[in-house]
Structure 1
Amino acid sequence: MALRLLTLRIDGELDVVASRQRARQIAGLCGFGAQDQTRIATSVSELARNVYNYAGRGRIEFSVEGVTTPQVLMISIEDQGPGIPHLDLVLSGRYQSSTGMGLGLIGARRLMDQCEIDTAPGKGTTILLKKLLPAGAPLITARMAGDFGAQLASGSQAGATLAELQQQNQELLSTLAELKARQDEMLQLTRELEDTNRGVVALYAELDEKADHLRRADEMKSRFLSNMSHEFRTPLSSIRALCKLLLDRVDGELTGEQEKQIQFILKGSESLSELVNDLLDLAKIEAGKIEVRPSRFDVAEMFSALRGMLRPLLVTETVRLVFDEPEGVGSIHTDEAKVSQILRNFISNALKFTETGEVRVSAAALPDEEAVRFTVRDTGLGIAPENHQVIFEEFSQVENRLQQRVKGTGLGLPLCRKLAHLLGGRIELESELGTGSAFSVVLPLRLQQDEPAWQALPSQAEDDGRLPLLIVEDNRQTSLMYEKYLEETEFRPVTVRSVWEAEQAWGTLSPAAVLLDIHLGSEDTWRWLNKLKMDPQRRQVPVIIATEVDDQHKGYTLGADAYFVKPLFREDLLGALRRLTGSESGEAPQQNVNDTMQSNRYDVKPS
């Protein structure tokens, strides 16, 4: 929705001066700083002068677009003159004119965020300038726009020429002084940088050398631990076996004190053996020596095996271990031993820290992700939210009143997380103090060993000749849905989760179109959309917005080619993509749609 602020007519030279003055005033009312006010005023003044020189008369209209921040200041300059011949040549800066024709247009394009020109011989020219309001600018409402218009319309133009000249002289003197100060600063900075550069080069060389030493030391540590499995475990096994022989009185009776001491030795060796096992498993994963052996197995059968294996851990009748029947899960294809290891660790921890109640193990299918979630829920002590990350750090434990009774290594949960990532899944935790905990592992129904489950940046190895579609979406389920939409179509999804990742991905591929969400975590993409449409090399790539923000006017103002309010359905997405890229007719991609499409779910920008 556009809020009109002021309309000016250009009939003489005084009107050109007045347009500059009004442009500066409007920029100030909209919250722009002094430099931006000067840029806007200069752009309007140059284009108004062109209207007066080449068309004789015209009009300028100031308005604000958008109902949410950041809003857009829009300035429309229209005339009914002869039009601009050789527009492309003029905008390229290669057009030679004795009257200076084209310099004002080039300057306005550089000073504003966007500049759209519509001209034809004998039909006049319309130029639309756009500039995003600053981040801290107030939201301009219809009432404020009316107050601005009344305030500007009531201003007298008497003495406008002299006042404007004085203002321009002050701006020029201020700019010259600022340029001189910056030049002096640049000279000083250049000298300092020359001195610093030599030190930085030496420092980088030293850091590279130290980083190489650390990398080699880390590799040697992991290799040493992964290769020392037999040497660590054999003596521990011998100690445990000898302790059991002594406790079984194979070599004769023991005194009470001797039995007590041997039990201490046995308990210590068992704790040390558990620590060594976890440590060696972590080292193997880091060294890349752990093997993944996927196979198809039945989840219910794995639960049955775990039930028999873990029943001896129930040392009290106040805690029940319950295995629910898997919901919608039959068999899956992954490494059964490692899934069992993760669940054993979850269940063991739950039994340790649950005094009364139950430990419940369940499995449920996740159709949207083609995955299964295994959950171990207990009624134990619970974990405070601020400690949810701490427990996944190696050798870290949370203090609690049961800690003296149930010792641990602090390596079990970090190992579970590494194993889950190795299997293409993730670990989830829900817990609060006093209400118990729910540890879950989400794993794909079929393990793809040659592809990671979720990459920070897209892999170009997947290029199959289809048109790449850059999907900027931070919600994993939504991005998976889009990827399902594009299966067996002419479009190949390339998914990223932030603007930074989108820029990195653009450096390695040329997308045929962009599917853009507005809110990505704590950032929004309005300014990135504006940046794309200002880039001469990327502005022709169609941008389709799919978001929960219902502000289509702002989206189209900033250059979006189609706008959808979630949920986005498959036929709507493919229809918009094929029209915008010309893939359904074999035509070259076009920037806008040639016919307006509207429904209750989406809106496509008309040309």
Structure 2
Amino acid sequence: MSNYRRITTVSITHEVDVVACRQSAKQIAAWLGLSTLEQIRLATSVSELARNVYQYVGSGTFHFDLRKDPHGLVNAIGFEAVDEGSGIADIERILDGSYVSPTGMGVGLRGAQRLMDEFDIQTSAAGTRIRALKSVYPPRPFPSEKRIQEIRRQLQTEGASDPYVELQVRGSELLLTSSELRSKQQELEATNLELENTNKGVVALYSELEKASQELQEASESKSRFFSNMTHEFRTPINIIENISKLLLKGADGELNPEQYKQVRFISSAASELSDLVNELLDLAEAESGRMEIVPARFSLVEFMEQLRQFTGALSMRYPTLDWQVTPILVDVILDTDRNRLFQIMRNLISNAFKYTPQGAISVRCFLPDSDTVEFMVEDSGVGIGAEDQARIFEEFARVRIPGLAHVQGNGLGLPLAVRLASLLRGDIELTSEVGKGSRFTARIAREFVEREADLQNLDLTGITVLIIDDNEADRYLVRHLLEPYHAVVIESENASASIDKMHAVRPDIILLDLDLPDIYGADLLESMDWSLHSRVLVNTAKLLDDTERDRLLSQSQGVLIKTQPDYAEALLQQVQRLAGSYRP
């Protein structure tokens, strides 16, 4: 208790002492310079508790204290209410609001708790002790011993006023504050607490969020590594089973009798299905981890549609009762993307259409909605997918059970893989479906895998915070001048030390980092940042970099800008536009 200083004590033995308790609380709060509303809140809380002591116990004691912070300043007014009654029954239900009493018992206690910033109650058959605190913000200088003696004498001299006068005063206070209390009570309490802890709370929140995000990312990477490693391990024994079963079926070591031939054919078929599953697992793991290599090449859309027609024709032989059509495109265009990955997407979509169409037709069409996009549509008249399952079918290993189609083979990886591949090819997949009326899958893919130059005319950085860490005033001025027309919020820092506080307090969306800083080398500052900040950094330097250092910087940042390059201004805006795009919905 060394950080608490007792101001006064009020004994409650008569009803007038309840008024004295209230007046003492209000005078102490006014003495410290608290607002009128805060004075009323403290006085009301004390009054309610003092009335409870007098009404239910008959006597008790109130102690009023000031609390010091580590700097010796007053940061709270506290009181301690003590009685020797028989305790409070149902205290937990009273405090959580679930206790209902026909006499109103417990309402005052819960109201007093809500008016205070800290509230602790200990009750038993031997009595009740309540400790409560009202925060003082900003903290005030702690009064001298002389001032404490003066307020004690003032409180003792004035005593309690006439109860009827006190009622008039309280009525005036209620008229003054009731409207504001009703509309602003919760807001003010939350705001006061936030003002005291904003910086610490925000930093802690970001830290927790980033820690959770990092753990999720690590878990996802572990899963991808597991899939990748296991599928590689599976491939060798599967290949052996497949190849040996083929040798047996061909009679390389002697003819098989009909029953043996049937058994080996089952083995070969199962090995083939397992091989397909392993390949899809491996592709999915590579796509999720970002290690999947995309090899763009130029090819004709007409030729690709012919490839789809041949594949669909071969697949349709397993489904002789279904009609199908691959509509040729009338105008040929040249695509510049990964043909094999695009075919993999379409193969999965077309195969699914055949699997889930017991009768009817499948059609494959292609459209050119604009100069940048090609659209492939796979439509069937099959069983359809309910609205509740349409999102789930894109989850790994998720399969929708459809009555009458339990025989359909699959592992639930085809569609998730197709979505991942479409995303890698700068596209997406859209589903429209209705139960009993079929499904339509639309795959939109960028015609050119390599992005075109950014359209700076439409650049809008409203709401994007950019931190410039550079000791050269002219360089900072240039960057600020380049970004101002696009409405970015620009913050500047002349050295690494000052930038650290700004990075943690503001959490900028984009960080432009110079390497030659006066206090810390920029690359060392970059290395000290947490992983989430690495995704926001553009190295902005005039230093000549060798390949080794450039690669190291690129592994921890989103790009490297050289201030002396001829197109520096345009390159900077393009890089900023790319990063800003990741923060848009």
Same fold (TM over 0.5): no
The interval holding the TM-score normalised by the smaller chain is 0.3 to 0.5
Q: Normalization by structure 2: what TM-score? A: 0.45
Q: Hey, which of these two has a bigger chunk of helix by percent? A: 2
Q: Normalization by structure 1: what TM-score? A: 0.43
